[in-house]
Copies of this chain bind each other. A is one copy, B any other.
Amino acid sequence: MTVLTEESFGSRQRVTMDDVARRAGVSRALVSIVMRSAPGASEDKRRRVLAAADELGYRPDVRAQSLAGQRSRVIGVMFGVTVGAFHFELLDGLFAAAERHGHNLVISPLTRVRDERTAARSLQGFRFDALIMLSPPTAHPLLAGRIPLAVVGWHVDHPGVDVVRVDDDRGIRAAVDHLVALGHRDIAHIDGGDTMISLARRSAYLAAMEAHGLARCARVERGGQAQVDGLAGARRLCSIGPRPTALIAYNDDIAVAAIGVFAQHGLTVPAEMSVVGFDDSSVAALAAVPLTTVAQRPDELGRLAVERMIARVEQRRIVEREIVLPAELRVRSSTAAPREPGHNPLPS
């Protein structure tokens, strides 16, 4: 029997701690201890309580938990419309981690008509004790310094803001290194628009190119977050000026869109054009060719953000305000050595 029995939904008589305690033949207090996986219960009774809870389809009432406890155990999450496949995997990681730690996430979307202020106000009703922001990447979060706050994915220069992000710099550099090692020189970049993450990756690209003495070969096209934003840039790469032999895209969505454009121009990937994405999100699977990409680990990012917020709430000692996860280049089939110069490609 599971929690999704007839008793748990619909027809009333909600199951409470009392019911579980009675059925297991223990006190309410012990049920509380067991459900919170707190120390102070024998293995035997722990099992009996859990069995009773399972049979009754009991789930602790988070409202009561939240109200009775010192902390609300509620973490607010703001996120905005720049959501791609990657952000959803991030949400996944956040929920998984929160659940493991007995915390609850309450989401407050940011939209055109719903700003940080409004979003914060609605969260306030839950007496949230920490906030995690996924997007949009903003330089000065409204609640910075007022409450434990973490941003995931970009850098914020505020002593009261924790940062959990991937090492964009090394990720992009690894991509450039990889392509240079294959023999590429004309490596272009389609960026992600004006967001802070985009700026970080773009300047990392420029720096890496310069480090290889390829500053003259650098070329940046305007892109964006979504797939369609990559189309124009990719088109320009094909039609305007000297055509590069490789592309580093702001993210996988842009990379996938670009590969489509290249195909239309008779350019096969990777033979005539190498492509590197970023994120290793699920859209990478949509590419015609398995995509070489810079992987982030959304589950890790989510877990670290949640755990950091819990640590802050519990006033635990924290050394570094910023957690930077290593970026890992996943080499697949969308990158290869460039054709010999002069070797004319046959449009297939």
**A321 contacts partner chain B, Cβ-Cβ < 8 Å:** no
Within 8 A of B (CB), among A5-26: 6, 8-10, 14
B257–A125 CB distance below 8 A:
no
**A261 contacts partner chain B, Cβ-Cβ < 8 Å:** yes
A92–B72 CB distance below 8 A:
no
Q: CB-CB < 8 A to A96: which residues of B?
A: 113-114
- Taking CB as reference atom, which chain B residue is nearest A226? B227
B125–A111 CB distance below 8 A:
no
Q: How far is the CA of A264 from the CA of B263 in the complex (A)?
A: 11
A63–B72 CB distance below 8 A:
yes
Q: CB-CB < 8 A to A124: which residues of B?
A: 3, 8-9, 59
Q: How far is the CA of A260 from the CA of B256 in the complex (A)?
A: 14
Q: How large is the interface on A (under 10, 10 to 19, 20 to 34, 35 or more residues)?
A: 35 or more
Q: How far is the CA of A217 from the CA of B264 in the complex (A)?
A: 26
**A307 contacts partner chain B, Cβ-Cβ < 8 Å:** no
B9–A146 CB distance below 8 A:
yes
Within 8 A of B (CB), among A88-104: 88-89, 91-92, 95-96, 99, 104
- Taking CB as reference atom, which chain B residue is nearest A3? B121
**Contact with A89, one of B111, B227, B264, B286 (Cβ below 8 angstroms):** B111
A4–B120 CB distance below 8 A:
yes
B81–A109 CB distance below 8 A:
no
B283–A260 CB distance below 8 A:
no
Q: CB-CB < 8 A to A235: which residues of B?
A: 260, 264
**Contact with A127, one of B63, B66, B67, B228 (Cβ below 8 angstroms):** B63
Q: CB-CB < 8 A to A9: which residues of B?
A: 120, 124, 143, 146-147
Q: CB-CB < 8 A to A107: which residues of B?
A: 106-107
**A29 contacts partner chain B, Cβ-Cβ < 8 Å:** no
Chain B proximity mask over A132-144: 1 for CB below 8 Å, otherwise 0:
0000000000110
Q: CB-CB < 8 A to A257: which residues of B?
A: 227-228, 231
**A62 contacts partner chain B, Cβ-Cβ < 8 Å:** yes
Known: A63-B63, A228-B256. 20 other contacts (CB 8 A): A4-B120, A9-B120, A9-B143, A9-B147, A14-B127, A60-B125, A61-B67, A61-B125, A63-B127, A81-B88, A83-B83, A92-B109, A92-B111, A95-B109, A95-B114, A104-B126, A106-B107, A228-B260, A261-B264, A264-B264
- A contacts, CB < 8 Å to B: 3-4, 6, 8-10, 14, 59-64, 66-67, 72, 81, 83, 85, 88-89, 91-92, 95-96, 99, 104, 106-107, 109, 111-114, 117, 120-122, 124-127, 142-143, 145-147, 226-229, 231-232, 235, 253, 256-257, 260-261, 264-265, 282-283, 286
10 contacts between A and B (CB under 8 A): A8-B124, A10-B146, A14-B127, A59-B125, A63-B66, A88-B109, A92-B109, A96-B113, A226-B286, A264-B265
